[in-house]
């Protein structure tokens, strides 16, 4: 059962609890029909609510603290994961995890942002906000993958690169720029999956790939709705409007031709059924990877550069 319930989820969760209670009673009473009716009602209600979510509500879902994070997905969809640490220059950034793992038996390099679930783990993970060494660790391991001809899978879930004194001292901008540059021409397949929040350069820093996929209830943009509100409206109170204006949902980005595919989530969102969400993600990744592996490396790079070059192309 969900630990955190968002406002718009409440009617659904309440009804589910009622069904649960009835089930407990049903040992003594014959109320199977009533339960069935209620279950039908709850799925209708869920469909109603979820097909009419505002963009801000989608942002809330993307941030839902019960949503699976990178390490959760890795443990649910991959085997033999060996985590590899450090950028070999400064330190190991805990906000980005990386390592070899097998997807459907096939060795891949998997890299993703990692958030924490409670105060302690969030401090350890720096709330999933990487320092430059996180991007440099990712780059080191992506180059290793390229050297060994192993495909790369990245999972994006960050509220941004960390804005701190040390991060600037060690070249946050340079670290992200370098990754954009290098990822553009690594001669192995790269699949990017946005599994939660995709905020700005901090997300894009591991987000250049042949296929960019977004899970249904995630967001991806140049700035968070809150920061956008504070800059353009000069107040924190316009986040709903900012979310609308930014067109930041999976469907929006599909329309803008910035992503390649929307990955459906189980009814009620990934946090309501992580196993099923993981199973859908796994099938999608396997399918996409098969297609990419048919393309020769130089062609792959050519197509990747063209893909990003075409984003917002002008024909004046």
Partner 1 sequence: MAWFRRSKENISTDSQKKDTPEGMWVKCESCGEIIHKKTLEQNLWTCSKCNFHFRIGSKEYFSFLLDEGSFKEYDKKMYSKDPLNFVDTKKYRDRVRETIKKTGLYDAVRYGSAEINKIGIVIAGMDFAFIGGSMGLVVGEKVSRAIDRALTAKKPLIVICSSGGARMMEAAYSLMQMAKTSAKLTRLSDAGIPYIAVLTDPTTGGVTASFAMLGDVILAEPGALIGFAGPRVIKQTIGKDLPPGFQRSEFLLEKGFVDAVIHRKDMKDTLTKLLGMMYSN
Footprint of partner 1 (CB under 8 A): 161-165, 167-174, 176-178, 180-181, 184-185, 200-201, 204-205, 207-208, 220-223, 228, 231-233, 238, 241-242, 245-248, 252-253, 256, 258, 304-305, 308-309, 311-314, 316
- Distance of alpha carbon 241 from alpha carbon 226, whole angstroms: 10
> Of 247 and 282, which CB lies nearer to partner 1 in the complex structure?
247
Closest approach, Cβ 267 to partner 1, in A, equals 27
- Distance of alpha carbon 134 from alpha carbon 117, whole angstroms: 19
Q: What is the dihedral of CA 120, 167, 130, 196, to 10 degrees?
A: 100
Q: 248: burial class by Cβ within 10 Å (0-12, 13-18, 19+)?
A: buried
> Of 101 and 193, which CB lies nearer to partner 1 in the complex structure?
193
> Of 42 and 192, which CB lies nearer to partner 1 in the complex structure?
192
Closest approach, Cβ 220 to partner 1, in A, equals 6
Closest approach, Cβ 314 to partner 1, in A, equals 5
Closest approach, Cβ 98 to partner 1, in A, equals 20
> Of 124 and 181, which CB lies nearer to partner 1 in the complex structure?
181
Helix (H), strand (E), coil (C) string for 15-37: HHHHHHHHHHHCCCCCCHHHHHH
Closest approach, Cβ 187 to partner 1, in A, equals 12
- Distance of alpha carbon 160 from alpha carbon 154, whole angstroms: 16
256 phi/psi in degrees, rounded to 5: -80, 0
**Buried b / exposed e along 17-51 (16+ C-beta atoms within 10 A):** eebeeeeeeeeeeeeeeebeebeeebeeebeebbe
> Of 33 and 314, which CB lies nearer to partner 1 in the complex structure?
314
Closest approach, Cβ 244 to partner 1, in A, equals 9
> Of 15 and 254, which CB lies nearer to partner 1 in the complex structure?
254
For residue 106 the two structure tokens come to 């096939």
User: Which candidate, 216, 203, 224, places its Cα nearest to that of 156?
Assistant: 203
Closest approach, Cβ 287 to partner 1, in A, equals 24
> Of 218 and 272, which CB lies nearer to partner 1 in the complex structure?
218
């Amino acid at each position: 059962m969900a630990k955190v319930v968002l406002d718009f989820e409440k009617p659904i969760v309440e009804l589910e609890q009622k069904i649960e209670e009835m089930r407990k009673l049903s040992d003594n009473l014959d109320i199977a029909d009533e339960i069935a009716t209620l279950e039908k009602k709850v799925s209708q209600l869920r469909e109603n609510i979820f097909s009419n979510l505002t963009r801000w509500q989608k942002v809330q879902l993307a941030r839902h603290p019960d949503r699976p994070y990178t390490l959760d997905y890795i443990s649910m969809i991959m085997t033999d994961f060996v985590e590899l640490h450090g950028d070999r220059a400064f330190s190991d950034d805990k906000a980005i995890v990386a390592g070899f793992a097998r997807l459907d038996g096939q060795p891949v390099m998997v890299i993703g942002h990692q958030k924490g679930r409670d105060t302690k783990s969030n401090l350890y993970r720096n709330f999933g906000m990487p320092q430059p060494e996180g991007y440099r660790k990712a780059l080191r391991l992506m180059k290793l993958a390229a050297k060994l001809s192993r495909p790369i899978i990245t999972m994006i879930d960050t509220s941004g690169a960390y804005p701190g004194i040390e991060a600037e001292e060690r070249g946050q901008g340079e670290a992200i720029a370098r990754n954009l540059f290098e990822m553009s021409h690594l001669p192995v397949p790269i699949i990017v999956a946005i599994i939660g929040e995709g905020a700005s350069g901090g997300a894009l820093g591991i987000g250049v790939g042949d296929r960019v996929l977004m899970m249904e209830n995630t967001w991806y943009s140049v700035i968070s709705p809150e920061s956008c509100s504070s800059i353009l409206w000069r107040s924190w109170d316009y986040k709903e409007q900012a979310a609308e204006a930014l067109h930041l949902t999976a469907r929006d980005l599909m329309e803008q031709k910035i992503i390649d595919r929307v990955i459906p989530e189980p009814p009620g969102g990934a946090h309501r059924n992580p196993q099923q969400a993981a199973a859908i993600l796994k099938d999608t990744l396997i399918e996409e990877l098969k297609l990419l592996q048919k393309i020769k490396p130089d062609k792959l790079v050519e197509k990747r550069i063209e893909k990003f070059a075409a984003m917002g192309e002008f024909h004046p």
